[in-house]
Structure 1
């Protein structure tokens, strides 16, 4: 298989990772919190989700692992339950472009003039992170994604927590002690020792009644990848405004062979 360029890897990573690694959110200045049931906290978390048919934004991205670091900007567009489109630029030059549908993942690497055509599950396996289309939508919007399992409520360092697990995954949510906004969520693949998580900051009003996190700390850790971190700052966020989705693969580009 041809080696994927760092620019293309960055594009894939930003779209598939939800920030990982083992770190703690900054403690909330909330004092002692009254006990809350899991049912109550799940309801509040669901009420705080960003809901929209269309989403678009620009993002500044700072990527770093043990061997490589790069800064770039990305344009993101999403139609709910249908398609995610993104491109990544550095110094106003496009490094790569991606089109993601529930059953497919297309990536164009402008640097090496090549492209990849795979399923979301295949890309997730290649990058060694748990992901599917619904998880990617949740990551972009800053929403929690729910496992089909019971959650246990608790309090840790000024945050409400919800924890649950099934045979394969374990998930943890940290909620603000005052407004119940999602401050961090993580999902780990227990047997493979892979962890992805995202810390959310800088909540601002979006639309009439919703709030959106404009700053994300994203990290990933697995035996295959080691520690990886991505800092994202969103701007020009819009919801429910239809956008054009343009994606073409030049005929002169070579397809990256599947494993």
Structure 2
């Protein structure tokens, strides 16, 4: 497998499935009942976004695609609105390193000796997807993305808040925890094209440094049409929101 799909995954994010999708109800609080009002729900989701200045995390990661299956340990560092840094190691050896800034993307595949340095606009033009730093950052923090004020609102069978939307180009669907207002599942489908993205958040827990609960499990499944499909399972084992943190990118 070439780096194209790996780059697409890095810009779109990582995932964890294999577990029940559940929000973070940690104090026995019961979900509210009654009529749902979209404007109020969107305000509450926004009020419960996580936005730390720094993040320093370690996670177990498994990538499964048509041409590549690999697992290892991912080290993730984030400086809000400035940079996202990732390094993937297996048996103590680094296999790949990525650095993403608001206007650029760098990826070094040490195993194959390949290096990519491109503006984020290149990813967007090549794959026809919204490759934006702020969206990737929101997903790392466990926040909902692509929310608009013209969504339809209802309740899922399990009580989750269900939001759906449809435009000429995209169809979107969200499942939101009715107590914490944190996203359980986000799905984006490009209409007329064979491309889709889903992000599942699981295993929410309280972590010092943020008032919102944080999803330790992620599932991002990418169907890139002709570029192929891939999914990545990620389980955060260590998470800190203190900083600053270093983001080295030497090619050695």
Query: Which TM class, normalised by the smaller chain length?
Result: 0.7 to 0.9
Q: Partner of 2:122: helix, strand, or coil?
A: helix
Q: Is the 8 A contact 1:16 1:124 kept in 2?
A: no
Match of 2:9 in 1: 13
Count of aligned residue pairs for this structure pair: 245
Give the structure 2 partner of residue 255 of structure 1.
none
Per the TM alignment, residue 34 of structure 1 is displaced from its structure 2 partner at its CA by 2.9
Distance in structure 1 (CA, Å) of the matches to 2:179 and 2:149: 26
> Structure 1 residues 93, 172: closer, same or farther in 2, change over 3 A?
same
- Conserved? CA contact 1:20–1:195, under 8 Å: no
CA distance in structure 2 between the partners assigned to 1:116 and 1:163 by the alignment: 36
Aligned to 1:219: 221
Q: TM-score, normalised by structure 1?
A: 0.81
> 1:184 aligned to 2:185?
yes
Q: How much does 1:193 deviate?
A: 3.1
Query: Conserved in 1, the CA contact under 8 Å of 2:51 and 2:80?
Result: no
Task: Report the secondary structure of 2:205's partner residue.
Answer: strand
How big is the alpha-carbon RMSD for the aligned residues of Structure 1 and Structure 2?
3.1
Number of the residue aligned with 1:4? 2
**Contact 2:50-2:210 at 8 Å conserved across structures:** no
What pairs up with 1:18-167 in 2 under 5 angstroms? 26=21, 33-124=33-124, 126=126, 129-147=129-147, 149-158=149-158, 159-167=160-168
Cα deviation for residue 147 of structure 1 reads: 4.7
For 2:233 and 2:97, locate their aligned partners in 1 and report how far apart those are by CA, in whole Å. 19
Provide the TM-score with structure 2 as the length reference: 0.84
Distance 1:193 1:153, change over 3 A: same
Contact 1:176 1:183 in 2 (8 A): yes
Q: Show the counterpart of 1:204.
A: 205
- Go from structure 1 to structure 2 and tell me whether the alpha carbon gap of 1:54 and 1:81 turns closer, same or farther (over 3 Å shift): same
d(CA) in 1 for partners of 2:245, 2:163 = 36
Q: In structure 1, list runs of 5 or more residues that go unmatched.
A: 251-259
Distance in 1 of aligned mates of 2:153 and 2:199 = 19
**1:9-49 C-alpha deviation (Å, 9 max, x unpaired):** 5475244246599x9x7589x89953211112112211221
The question of whether the paired residues in 2 share the 8 Å contact of 1:17 and 1:129 is answered with: no
Kindly indicate whether the alpha-carbon contact (under 8 Å) linking 1:128 and 1:224 is maintained by their aligned counterparts in 2: no
- Kept after mapping to 1: 8 A contact 2:62/2:70: yes
| Structure 2: tracts of 5 or more residues without a match | 24-29
Give SS of 1:143's match.
coil
The separation in 2 between residues aligned to 1:129 and 1:69, in whole angstroms, is 24
- SS at 1:248's partner residue? coil
Deviation sequence 1:142-167 (CA, Å, 0-9, x none): 11113555222111222111222444
Distance change in 2, residues 1:135/1:162 (3 Å): same
Task: Provide the rounded CA distance (Å) in 2 between the counterparts of 1:185 and 1:74.
Answer: 23
CA distance, structure 2, for counterparts of residue 108 and residue 32 of structure 1: 48
Change (3 A) 1:196 1:44: same
Matched-pair contact (CA < 8 Å) for 2:22–2:202: no
- Distance verdict in 2 for CA 1:12–1:110, change over 3 Å: farther
Distance 1:20 1:196 in 2: 13
Per the TM alignment, residue 243 of structure 1 is displaced from its structure 2 partner at its CA by: 0.5
